Amino acid sequence: MDLEKLKQWMEISQKYQNGNFWDMIFDQTPFEPLMKEQSHLSHGPQEKKSNARNSTFPIVDIYQTDTQIIVLLELPGYRKEDVSLSLSGNKLVVKGSCHLPIANAITIRNERRYGDFERLIELPEPTKSKDIHARFENGLLIVTYMRKYTNEEDIPIT
């Protein structure tokens, strides 16, 4: 890239700087033209919308003990009212939304994620929603349920 093009990019970034400008530039697919994304910027800071590229948020750890499955979801700054859970077989769906904490401010640096998200988490064993317990603790959503398949059983071959 030559120096003139770099200067043009810098001017555009300064004009439309809202904290997630470079994410929008590098998250382009061939079917999402840059001008479509930029047209939303003229109305002020925008929160990222949920899409396939957001499928790794929130960060998830899954643990298995002899009796339980434990799912930890990292959601700093979220409240339990901001998040919802649903279940179908062994698929846990986590949805939520987090809004900018400071209104009418110019973003200098933005590394936190804002806006809507949705993540599908495949659980190691199926369960029923009535058997799941979920709680928020220190920025973690902790989801637990009792294992139903704790012992390996031999199957005779005839």
Nearest to 126 by CA among 142, 147, 143: 147
Contacts of residue 91, defined as CB under 8 A and 6 or more positions apart, other chains included, come to 120, 121, 122, 123
Residues 53 and 27 sit within 8 Å (Cβ to Cβ): yes
Which residues contact residue 35 at a Cβ distance below 8 angstroms, ignoring those fewer than 6 apart?
none
The confidence score (pLDDT) of residue 68 equals 94
The structure tokens listed for 59 are 């960060």
Q: Are 42 and 54 part of one and the same domain?
A: no
Would you give per-residue pLDDT tens digits along the chain (158 residues)?
Answer: 577 777 777 766 665 555 555 555 555 444 433 333 333 333 344 434 434 444 688 899 999 998 999 999 998 888 889 899 999 888 999 999 888 778 888 888 888 888 889 999 999 988 888 999 999 998 899 999 999 876 677 888 98
pLDDT of res. 131: 92
Same domain? For 34 and 65 the reply is: no
| H or E segment to which residue 133 belongs | strand 133-137
Residue 10 domain boundaries = 1-46
Q: Are residues 29 and 97 in the same domain?
A: no
Going by the DSSP 8-state scheme, the letter that residue 127 receives in this structure is -
Number of domains in the chain: 2
DSSP state of 101: S
| Residue 111 and residue 40 in one domain | no
The answer to whether the peptide bond before residue 58 is cis (omega within 30 degrees of 0) is yes
What confidence score (pLDDT) does residue 49 get? 41
Cα gap 120→6, rounded to integer Å? 39
**pLDDT tens for residues 81-120?**
989 999 988 899 999 988 877 888 888 888 888 888 999 9
Q: Which CATH number fits the domain that encloses residue 91?
A: 2.60.40.790
The residue whose two tokens read 């809507």 is 116
